[in-house]
Amino acid sequence: MKNFYAVIMAGGIGSRFWPISRTAHPKQFIDILGTGKTLIQQTYERFLKIVPAGNIYIVTNDNYKSLVAEQLPQLAADQILGEPVMRNTAPCIAYACHKIAMLNPEASIVVSPADHLILDTEEFVKDINFSLDAASRNNCLITLGIKPSRPDTGYGYIQFTQHTLEGNLYKVKTFTEKPNAELANTFVHSGEFLWNAGIFVWSVSSILNAFDQHLHEMNEIFKEGDKNFNTPAEQPFIQNAYYQCTNISIDYGIMEKASNVYVLPTDFGWSDLGTWASVYELSEKDYLGNAVQHSKKVMMYDSSNCIVNVPPDKLVVLQGLDDYIVVEANNTLMICHKSQEQRVKEIVSDVKSKFGTEYI
C-alpha cells in the first residue's frame, strides 16, 4: 500500500453548472447533491480507503489552492499542486507523475477527477485496488469503463476486445468521443463498448514511458524539472514549464495512441455529474417528477419533471413548467429547458461578453 498513490484532478471551472458553479468557486468545491460534503471532500475520503493520506495529491489551478486547503485541511502544503494556467489533463498528469517518480520509482498511481459521484464505495475500492496491483506487475495503462445503462451521447466510449490481462482487464481497441444518438445506440447494443469514466491507473514507470513515446516534448519539459521536484525550486520551475506545454488531454495525447491500454469493466454507481440533468436523475423527486433542492419554499402548479435549485429563503412559484431547470445563485436566475442544457456553456460565454466577469 505504501507504493500506492492517488492524484485528484481539481482544476476545472465547471461552467455547465453555472450559475451555482462560478469561476471563483467551481463545481468540485460545492455540495451539489446536498450530502453535507463537497465533491472534492467525497473523492478524497474515498481514496483514503485505498492509499495512505500522505500519498494523495490534488492538482488544481493556482487560484483554487486556498479553497483546496480550506476544504481538505489535513493535506500538507506540498500535496496541493498548483497549475499557473489551464492546459487540460496531460500536463497535469505529467507534473504529478514526475513529482511522484522522484519520491518513489516503484509507485502505482490512480488518477481521478475531483467532481464525480460514486454510489458504491466498496465496489470502487475493490476495483481500484485490483487495478493498482495489476499495474504494479505489468507494463500497462489501465482505464476504468462503466457498463452503459443507456445510449448516452454525453459520454466517451471505449471499445474492447476479448484479449485479457490478469483475467479482468480487456485490451482496448478504440476510443470514441461523444457519439451521435444513432452511434451510441449501436455501441450499447453491440456489448463491446463501455463508458469512459476518465479514471486511470498505471505504474509511474509505464506512464512516463508512454509520455516519452507519445508526448515526447512535454515529457522533456517536465524531465528537466526532476531535480526541482519536492524542493523549494518546484514552484518557480512549474510556473515556467506550464507555459511551454500544449493544451491536450491524456485521452487524445496518450490513451488513444498507446498499444498497452486495458480497460476494467466496472459497475460502482458512477456519474460524472456533468450536467443539471445528471443531478436531476440522482435527486429525490415527488410524484410528478419534480426535484426541489435545498428549499422548502417552492410552490409548483401544473408543473412536472423539473429540477429547482434556489436559495432556501427564496419563495418561488412555478406554474405550467415541464422538464425545466430553474437555478438561482449569486444574484443570477437561470430558467432553461432540460433539452437545451448543453447550451449553458454558450450562455455563460454570452453573459461574459455582455456583462463582463461579474456574473461568471
* pLDDT, tens digit (0-9, with 9 covering 90-100), for 194-225: 999 999 999 999 999 999 999 999 999 999 99
Within this chain, do residues 216 and 337 fall inside the same structural domain, yes or no? no
Residue 251 clears pLDDT 90, i.e. is over it: yes
Structure pTM? 0.94
Within this chain, do residues 36 and 111 fall inside the same structural domain, yes or no? yes
> Of all residues in the chain, what percent carry a pLDDT higher than 70?
100
Last residue of a domain, which of 215, 250, 271? 271
Cell of 156: 466517451
The answer to whether 199 and 112 have CB atoms below 8 angstroms apart is: yes
* 360 assigned to some structural domain: no
Expressed as residue numbers, the domain containing 228 is: 4-271
What pLDDT does 13 receive?
84
**Which residue is associated with the grid cell 460545492?**
30
Q: Widest CA span of the chain, in angstroms?
A: 65
Domain count for the chain, please give it: 2
Within this chain, do residues 264 and 307 fall inside the same structural domain, yes or no? no
Residue 14 clears pLDDT 90, i.e. is over it: no
Sign of CA dihedral 40, 45, 51, 54: positive
Residue 153 clears pLDDT 90, i.e. is over it: no
Within this chain, do residues 220 and 314 fall inside the same structural domain, yes or no? no
| CATH number for the domain that contains residue 65 | 3.90.550.10
Last residue of a domain, which of 271, 293, 314? 271
Within this chain, do residues 214 and 319 fall inside the same structural domain, yes or no? no
Within this chain, do residues 145 and 225 fall inside the same structural domain, yes or no? yes
Within this chain, do residues 69 and 160 fall inside the same structural domain, yes or no? yes
Within this chain, do residues 185 and 124 fall inside the same structural domain, yes or no? yes
Q: Taking all residues of the chain, what is their mean pLDDT, rounded to a whole number?
A: 94
Q: What angle do CA 285, 286, 292 make, to 5 degrees?
A: 60
Last residue of a domain, which of 238, 271, 304? 271
Residue 302 clears pLDDT 80, i.e. is over it: yes
